[in-house]
Structure 1
């Protein structure tokens, strides 16, 4: 998951040690042998999925091109393709499955796993060129063999694989409105113009929001749960529930910049705001409105501030990854 410092980092201010609720520390993910640098981590149906590289190879996957005047832009491909290990943890700290790829051709990778054990790696950025789009999506067998390549477009903020193998993608603004050759007068519309898109395993669109409705300028939070897909999107930050090919939009009040969304039965929790990434806002959905019932903060197990972390949500659970350390918070355990 690509997360900027404001939306993806859990806050660093010191806090009182007697506050609730607290996240649970699950432990530190163990790296595969020979690959000690965590490049990317996500959460699949069965637990964490991670992409590891060597200390020398990892920086190649997060390179930027420097421009005159100090501006820099993320590369779509590494300058040299490092070897990587894909690891599925199945709700454990030790990988149950590891697949080694001798050379990875995409940068800023998202990683997921399909129900049959194959891996999905998707580069967050993707250019359109005169010869067509870059191939930023790769299906890799559990044996490390590349099964398929394709394109999911530019600007991938979230990628999650559902239990039925559907790939759900949430796009940030450049993936919605166009950049890197997409959306120009002589190039195709961005593949992520709808903001939220469902793809098949062979990289064909199976569903998307209506791009003309403009519901998504940036998909801030996405959660592929067992019975629905949940999202919270810029600009108005509604709670969006997608099920059976239809979306329901619920208006919110005083919600800005969430990095995560979780759901349990008739309750929904939003994780983080622009000002306070540890904020937890819980409410219910009624008649097209998210009605807030509580607003509090999440704390580390010892009552201190949560460390800086990536945020991934599945069902009722928020997963926080601070480098190798894995923390969780389950909305079902919060009254």
Structure 2
């Protein structure tokens, strides 16, 4: 839910609905149908920050900013070389992608927003302060933060891009 009370949902498994936004009363407020989002077959990462939604859809994994109330350009797209991220955090012009395929499961890839692409700046591993990288986990991106809940799913760790 964004700060205006809108509910954002990213569909998966080639659902043609893609990304949608509903009002608190259940009225469809925005849909990716017809939006200029390349390769939207599955939503891997979805982040709601303020009144914007950020997504990294499969197959091309662009970084997409959606601001339905912006009349001049409600959807902005940046080309992105990071593949398979399951969470994204955004703070100003900086972005972090968490996760990936195979050995990149715990990857934390940093970048900055340029005119048309995310420019990579650094790559590392996200590990808890008390030990090795977590095994099975849940991840959620919200604003500048990535929340990680590792098995046995009793506590959340937080990575904050703004700090």
Change (3 A) 1:212 1:329: closer
The SS at the match of 2:15 is helix
> Deviation digits for residues 230-267 of structure 1, max 9, x if unmatched?
110111000111123401000012x2111000011110
* Cα distance between partner residues in 2 of 1:213 and 1:250: 11
Contact 2:90 2:144 in 1 (8 A): yes
Whether 1:225 aligns to 2:49 is yes
In the alignment, structure 1 segments of 5+ residues that lack a partner are 1-160, 177-191
Within the candidate set 3, 12, 35, 1:172 is matched to 12
Whether 1:200 aligns to 2:23 is yes
* Cα distance between partner residues in 2 of 1:228 and 1:214: 15
The structure having more radius of gyration, on CA atoms, is: 1
After TM superposition, where is structure 1 displaced by more than 4 Å over at least 4 residues in a row? none
Query: Cα RMSD over matched residues?
Result: 1.6
Pairing 1:208-287 to 2, within 5 Å after superposition: 208-211=31-34, 213=36, 215=38, 216-243=40-67, 244-245=69-70, 246-253=74-81, 255-275=82-102, 276-287=104-115
TM-score, scaled relative to structure 2: 0.88
In the alignment, structure 2 segments of 5+ residues that lack a partner are none
| Larger RCO: 1 or 2 (CA < 8 Å, sep 6+) | 1
Aligned to 1:324: 154
> Deviation digits for residues 102-146 of structure 1, max 9, x if unmatched?
xxxxxxxxxxxxxxxxxxxxxxxxxxxxxxxxxxxxxxxxxxxxx
TM-score, scaled relative to structure 1: 0.44
Contact 2:85 2:97 in 1 (8 A): yes
Pairing 1:1-335 to 2, within 5 Å after superposition: 161-176=1-16, 192=17, 195-211=18-34, 213=36, 215=38, 216-243=40-67, 244-245=69-70, 246-253=74-81, 255-275=82-102, 276-322=104-150, 323-333=153-163
Contact 1:281 1:295 in 2 (8 A): yes
